[in-house]
Structure 1
Amino acid sequence: MTESSVHPALWPAPHASGAVDATVTVPGSKSVTNRALVLAALAAEPGWLRRPLRSRDTLLMAEALRAMGVGIEETVSSSSSVAGGPDASGEAWRVIPAGLHGPTTIDVGNAGTVMRFLPPVAALADGPIRFDGDPRSYERPLNGVIDALRVLGARIDDDGRGSLPLTVHGGGALDGGPVAIDASSSSQFVSALLLSGPRFNQGVEVRHTGDKLPSMPHIRMTVDMLRAVGAQVDEPETGGEPNVWRVSPSALLGRDLTVEPDLSNAQPFLAAALVTGGRVTIPDWPERTTQPGDALREIFTAMGGSCELTERGLTFTGSGRIHGIDVDLGEVGELTPGIAAVAALADGPSTLSGVAHLRLHETDRLAALTKEINELGGDVTETADGLRIRPRPLHGGTFHTYDDHRMATAGSIIGLAVPGVEIENVATTAKTLPDFPQMWTGMLGA
């Protein structure tokens, strides 16, 4: 059965007939899974990932590492599934490091973590590693990683584009050392160099020279995960020099890691509670985390809900009213589409700022949100670094996704309150949230 036959080109977004009351089990974090795969592949001993996310982006990462010689064995126990989502509780991947080698070609799809985290890994391989991907991947910037690797001693052919397709000619090792980059278009440039840094002969010192760094929680996640496998990292937040990260050369430990639920992927379900005045519980919400999605507790509370974090998880309850918000989303930009969808249904205007870098994501998210919400009757205006949203009565219509998973979930949020919304290519949610349509209808009791 093909993907298009499972999810037709236009998917009627379910309309909520009343307040939602559901428990939704969200699969593992993509950001954690893909970082953990890279660190495990570079370790000196085998390791385990438990409850990893199985999605297009993570499977692309796993296949890419396998193509370079890493062993990744998948096992699934017979544990029972948890109501509300796919059963990931019994799944584990055993990662067996090996000598990295080419020649091979890696398909990055449109996954920022794959296209940015793996060229430094490829520089440590023996032989040429070619990177290619979806048409949109050619438009996403890679110059921060390419230029930095050249300074650190790598040989890369990209015909001067600063983007895909490209070939890394691995020499089996990399000198490393200090490098200055402008990572203002993507924090992944910094994370990419830090993740492989322990394996460079001199380690790495990454100095950010541009404007304010976006998505700082993702860099904190990288640093925490490096330290958990034995790396020594000096960073600004622990007394280091501002905008400078240093990773010392060292062997990395294999470890047994259980992946947290993906809190950003919990966003549409929490939004459903807010939009319908209902209640949604997300099991296993961590008490402490570096995931950007944890900011939803504060943001959605400010927009009219309330939340309680217990041993069971996070329960979010809507009040029946949605308030506009003025918020800087620079550190949590990936949450912007869902917040914009909720803001379009609010009782007052909203201003979302600090997210100019979203123009370089899976699609130009600011332009896409403006166009799609306005075509449903909304009043959204782009600003230099975000969106201004003035609520207006919305009507049904087609909500285009531009092959962007977060556009698909944003349209689904609007569809809860607006009859007749149809999502074009809802199957794009498989990038990070497999089975989203089934989870969404299940939440509504369908």
Structure 2
Amino acid sequence: MTLDLWPAPHALAPVEVVVSLPGSKSLTNRALLLASIADGPSTVVRALRSRDTLLMAGALSALGSTVDTSGTDWAVTPGPFTRDAQVDCGLAGTVMRFVPPVAALSSGSVSFDGDPHMRTRPIGEVLGALRGLGAVIADDGRGALPFTVCGTGALRGGTVTLDASASSQFISALLLAGARYEQGVDVRHVGKPVPSLPHIDMTVAMLREHGVEVDDADANRWAVAPGTVRAVDHVIEPDLSNAAPFLALAAVSGGTVRVRDWPAETTQAGDALRDILQRMGCVVVLDAEGLTVTGPEQLEGIDIDLHDVGELTPAVAALCAVAASPSHLRGVGHIRHHETDRLAALAAELGGLGAAVTEHPDGLSFAPASLHGGVFHTYGDHRMAHAGVIVGAALGADETVEVENIATTSKTFPDFAGFWSGLFPSGD
């Protein structure tokens, strides 16, 4: 089989650019879902148009909502959810995990499936929790795709205990729909620490914007009171995690990159890039113009726990691979269950380019090394593609990184390849 290889451009001089990024996938999909169960029509302003968000819009439309994605701002009119439906999850974890708790409110049978790899991603804890809240789910005991939520038009709700150490989405999934359950929902986590807590904070903040009462005062417990989900228009922030490769471009080229409209306050995990890049030697300034990062003469390694911001690991790992001092990334064993086993994939692909990388159960270690060109496989994972283009930019003109399936970046950033190429002077 012939691979679809894309030669990543080289940053042969400091890159000086200002970029405007598409909206946040995490915010867009939460906003769409809450709009679909609200008490009236609403609009998602500046919605991200990407594969994941279109899959979410398609899923909610299949249930019975009307989602108009024809313009920049997406209009949503809620249900009713009264018909049988089929939901394509693609590779979108938010669709696979967030939509079933809403489907449990339907009076129809809603079947779920997705791309082949999605059948290996964890969903059993959510399905088990929904059963504990009164839902009927047929999955032949797999705890994985494909499965069917056999709706009865309502859900009892109540208290449920689960282990969300594999994904914070398990918690968010139940909270987002919980206000529409007869008894609300009281979610208790048991097990290792929940990863990516900023994403749960994002869910709670958005629920409160919709007038939903949420009690998160106690550790590892989130309670949503039953009640109305008020219709609210959301203005979507830029996707700060998608800023990682662009800000990394400043770091590896010694240039300056400004991302417009960076929020002064946000629940997005990508905001951690400010601290990470500063610790690696960059100059970082947040002001009314946006976030501006200027790269150093020599990029320093970092020892950091990325447990709460695991989605940043591929981009940070790429920076560590080209840094002048050792690095250790910890606390991210859960990203083995993302679009691919990201730790194994990063170790294999960065190692294949000459990086001195050691894989650990929950992270990666790097020693300084001279990298060379080669093929960088993405495993259908947009964050892996980001890592590949960062390393490609850092190499000299005689060494090229060929990124396999760069189109996978459409998951959260349409035409990423064209946008990225346009940042480099005269065709490179």
Q: Is TM more than 0.5 here?
A: yes
Q: 1:234 aligns with which of 215, 219, 226?
A: 215
Offset of residue 444 of structure 1: 1.4
Distance 2:115 2:366 in 1: 31
Distance 1:102 1:110 in 2: 24
Q: 1:427 aligns with which of 404, 407, 413?
A: 407
Offset of residue 175 of structure 1: 0.2
Distance 1:222 1:233 in 2: 10
The corresponding residue for 1:216 is 197
Asked if 1:16 corresponds to 2:11, the answer is yes
The corresponding residue for 2:39 is 44
Within a 5 Å distance, the mapping from 1:330-409 to structure 2 comes to 330-409=307-386
The corresponding residue for 2:108 is 127
Distance 2:69 2:401 in 1: 38
Asked if 1:168 corresponds to 2:149, the answer is yes
Distance 2:421 2:378 in 1: 19
Distance 1:340 1:220 in 2: 25
Distance 1:123 1:427 in 2: 34
The corresponding residue for 2:417 is 437
Alignment TM-score, normalising by the size of structure 1: 0.93
Offset of residue 241 of structure 1: 2.1
Q: Secondary structure at the match of 1:168?
A: strand
Aligned length: 422
Offset of residue 347 of structure 1: 0.5
Q: 1:309 aligns with which of 275, 286, 290?
A: 286
Distance 1:243 1:417 in 2: 41
Question: Does the CA-based 8 Å contact 1:22-1:444 persist in structure 2?
Answer: no
Offset of residue 75 of structure 1: 4.6
Within a 5 Å distance, the mapping from 1:288-307 to structure 2 comes to 288-307=265-284
Q: Secondary structure at the match of 1:126?
A: coil
Distance 1:395 1:10 in 2: 16
Greater shift in the superposed pair: 435-444 or 289-298:
435-444
Greater shift in the superposed pair: 252-261 or 175-184:
252-261
Distance 2:132 2:286 in 1: 46
Greater shift in the superposed pair: 352-361 or 314-323:
314-323
Alignment TM-score, normalising by the size of structure 2: 0.97
Amino acid at match of 2:422: G
Distance 2:192 2:257 in 1: 38
Offset of residue 358 of structure 1: 0.7
Distance 1:51 1:320 in 2: 37
Amino acid at match of 2:418: Q
Deviations 1:139-186 (A, max 9, x none): 000011100000000000111111100000011100000000000000
Q: Secondary structure at the match of 1:266?
A: helix
Deviations 1:307-359 (A, max 9, x none): 11111111111112100000000000000000000000001110000000011
Offset of residue 391 of structure 1: 2.1
Distance 1:438 1:406 in 2: 17
Distance 1:381 1:74 in 2: 44
Identity of aligned residues (%): 56
Offset of residue 403 of structure 1: 0.2
Amino acid at match of 2:104: A
Distance 1:200 1:186 in 2: 23
Distance 1:244 1:286 in 2: 28
The corresponding residue for 2:27 is 32
Deviations 1:394-431 (A, max 9, x none): 11000000000000010000001122110000000001
Asked if 1:53 corresponds to 2:30, the answer is no
Distance 1:44 1:75 in 2: 23
Distance 1:129 1:403 in 2: 26
Segments of 5+ residues of structure 2 without an aligned counterpart are: none
Distance 2:335 2:251 in 1: 24
Distance 1:206 1:404 in 2: 30
Distance 1:102 1:261 in 2: 35
Distance 2:168 2:137 in 1: 21
Q: Secondary structure at the match of 2:156?
A: coil
- Backbone CA RMSD of aligned residues: 1.1
Question: Does the CA-based 8 Å contact 1:43-1:254 persist in structure 2?
Answer: yes
Within a 5 Å distance, the mapping from 1:133-152 to structure 2 comes to 133-152=114-133
Question: Does the CA-based 8 Å contact 1:37-1:62 persist in structure 2?
Answer: yes
Q: Secondary structure at the match of 2:69?
A: strand
Q: 1:206 aligns with which of 187, 194, 202?
A: 187
Distance 1:381 1:75 in 2: 46
Deviations 1:26-72 (A, max 9, x none): 10000000000110001011111010100000000000100111011
Q: Secondary structure at the match of 1:265?
A: helix
Within a 5 Å distance, the mapping from 1:236-255 to structure 2 comes to 240-255=217-232
Offset of residue 255 of structure 1: 1.2
The corresponding residue for 1:65 is 60
Offset of residue 136 of structure 1: 0.5
Amino acid at match of 2:144: S
Offset of residue 443 of structure 1: 1.4
Question: Does the CA-based 8 Å contact 1:23-1:443 persist in structure 2?
Answer: no
Distance 2:170 2:309 in 1: 16
Distance 2:347 2:89 in 1: 28
Amino acid at match of 1:410: A
The corresponding residue for 1:3 is none
Question: Does the CA-based 8 Å contact 1:401-1:425 persist in structure 2?
Answer: yes
The corresponding residue for 1:83 is none
Question: Does the CA-based 8 Å contact 1:141-1:163 persist in structure 2?
Answer: yes
Segments of 5+ residues of structure 1 without an aligned counterpart are: 1-7, 77-90
Distance 1:101 1:37 in 2: 19
Question: Does the CA-based 8 Å contact 1:151-1:179 persist in structure 2?
Answer: yes
The corresponding residue for 2:87 is 106
Q: 1:287 aligns with which of 247, 255, 264?
A: 264
The corresponding residue for 1:86 is none
Amino acid at match of 1:352: L
